[in-house]
């Protein structure tokens, strides 16, 4: 199985700050990586697909990047509504596997 | 508007069975692979399995293989998850998701609690 190591596990940041979350894949997964945001009591919502493509309706302050087998989600100018838990997912090879999640809070 | 609505969650005893349903609307259900994902309390997400567009092919996570069965009824735009011989570790919120290359839409989730 492909392992997705996500870091950090938790993060506290200030309004307007730039935030970066990373996922390290245990092997090459190409661009088959997506990012999700989950609010308390809600289901995950797609933010980024294909490593770098913004999902419909997602604010442009979110962006995704890739360097080899390391993938990053960047939030420019953090807003209050960006708090929640973020997950990465590899959909290159079954079983599809998620990262452990990053809990993002406001400082 | 794409909607996925799960139902069927409940309290079930260890070793028991349960069938979850997910009714889809707002898109042509028969054109998409569909998946089930679960989230254990306070923990991350775990992919359970998937089914192809006509229901002829399924893939499962090793952790649940041979205990869970995914099926679909395209005429009813409904996805199913038959859970058998459930264990306490199966306690989780179960989500149905649409596989559009990635999980582009999710249901609201349904809670399954396995306890005596």
Tokens for B15?
Answer: 């070793």
Q: Are B103 and A87 an interchain contact pair (Cβ–Cβ within 8 Å)?
A: no
What's the pLDDT band for B65 if we cut at 50, 70, 90? confident
A8 prior amide bond cis, ω within 30: yes
Residues of A in contact with B61 (CB under 8 A): 95
Q: pLDDT at residue B74 above 80?
A: yes
A–B CB contacts, 8 A cutoff, strictly below:
53
Residue B29: DSSP 8-state:
G
Q: pLDDT at residue B47 above 90?
A: yes
Q: pLDDT at residue B100 above 90?
A: no
Mean pLDDT of chain B: 96
Residue B1: DSSP 8-state:
-
Q: Are A43 and B61 an interchain contact pair (Cβ–Cβ within 8 Å)?
A: no
Window from B56-65, B73-82, B107-116 with minimum mean pLDDT? B56-65
* Cα–Cα distance, B71 to B59 (Å, whole number): 11
Of B59, B102, B109, the CB nearest to A94: B59
User: What is the reported pLDDT for B41?
Assistant: 82
The predicted-structure confidence for A19-59, as pLDDT tens digits, reads as follows 999 999 999 999 999 999 999 999 999 999 999 999 999 99
Angle at CA of residue B56, ends B94 and B99, nearest 5°: 45
Residues A4-20 have a mean pLDDT of 97
Percent of chain B with pLDDT over 90: 91
CA distance B75 to chain A (A): 26
Q: Are A49 and B109 an interchain contact pair (Cβ–Cβ within 8 Å)?
A: no
Residues B63-90 have a mean pLDDT of 95
Residue B33: other Cβ atoms inside 10 A: 17
């Amino acid at each position: 199985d492909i392992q997705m190591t996500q870091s950090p596990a938790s993060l506290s940041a200030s309004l307007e700050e730039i935030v970066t979350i990373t996922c390290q894949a245990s092997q090459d997964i190409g661009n088959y990586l997506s990012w999700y945001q989950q609010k308390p009591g809600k289901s995950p919502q797609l933010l980024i697909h294909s490593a770098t493509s913004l999902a419909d309706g997602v604010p442009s302050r979110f962006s995704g990047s890739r360097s080899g087998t390391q993938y990053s989600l960047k939030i420019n100018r953090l807003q209050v509504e960006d708090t929640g838990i973020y997950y990465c997912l590899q959909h290159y090879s079954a079983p599809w596997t998620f990262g452990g999640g990053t809990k993002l809070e406001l400082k | 508007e794409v909607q996925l609505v799960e139902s069927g969650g409940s309290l079930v005893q260890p070793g028991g069975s349960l069938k979850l349903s997910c009714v889809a609307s707002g898109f042509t259900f028969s054109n998409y692979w569909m998946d089930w994902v679960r989230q254990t309390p306070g923990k991350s997400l775990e992919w359970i399995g998937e089914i192809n567009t006509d229901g002829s092919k399924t893939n499962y996570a090793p952790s649940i293989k041979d205990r869970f069965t995914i099926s679909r009824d395209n005429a009813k735009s409904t996805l199913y998850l038959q859970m058998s011989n459930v264990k306490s570790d199966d306690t989780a919120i179960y989500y149905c998701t649409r596989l559009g290359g990635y999980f582009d839409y999710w249901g609201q989730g349904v809670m399954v609690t396995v306890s005596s």
